[in-house]
Amino acid sequence: MTTGAGFDLERLVATNASAAFNRLVGLELVSAGAGAVELRMPWRDDLTQYAGHLHAGMIAALLDTACGFAAATVVGGVTASHFSMNCLRPAVGRTFVAKGSTVRTGRRQVFARAELFAADERGAAVLVATGETILVPLAA
């Protein structure tokens, strides 16, 4: 796991571990640096929709979490005030990798974006969704 200056990596790891939803779906913090994170989740049949693709709600959760964690590496605790996503193709793969990055940090709002990739058993990945979030820093 990589680290960046200006944030508490242990706190971010603890935040991920403390979130019951993240534990339930097996969300792993792969790397984090100032303004960026990478998360990974394994394929699970119980998180699919009727056609066998990863459910859009799960896609949203991965993108939103990647945005929030990226922002947290810069400003600490945050909460989302707006979120949007675009599903580009059916999300099917052995693992899913969400890469989040901070676009702009202000005093009252943080703008972040994320990309979700589906990787096959060889590790070849394809972009399946994108998302953007406006976050509000929480008082420490």
**pTM score of the predicted model:** 0.91
Q: Where in the sequence is the domain holding 131, given as residue range(s)?
A: 9-137
Gap between the Cα atoms of 109 and 43, Å rounded: 33
Quick check: is 1 in a domain? no
Gap between the Cα atoms of 70 and 112, Å rounded: 7
Whether pLDDT at 139 is above 90: no
Domain tally, the chain = 1
Query: What CATH number did the domain enclosing 17 receive?
Result: 3.10.129.10
Quick check: is 14 in a domain? yes
Residues 63-106 pLDDT 10s: 999 999 999 999 999 999 999 999 999 999 999 999 999 999 99
Q: Are 129 and 90 in contact (CB under 8 A)?
A: no
Quick check: is 35 in a domain? yes
Q: C-alpha angle 61/67/68, rounded to 5°?
A: 85
Neighbour count for residue 127 (Cβ, 10 Å): 12
Instruction: Report the greatest alpha carbon distance in the chain.
Output: 43
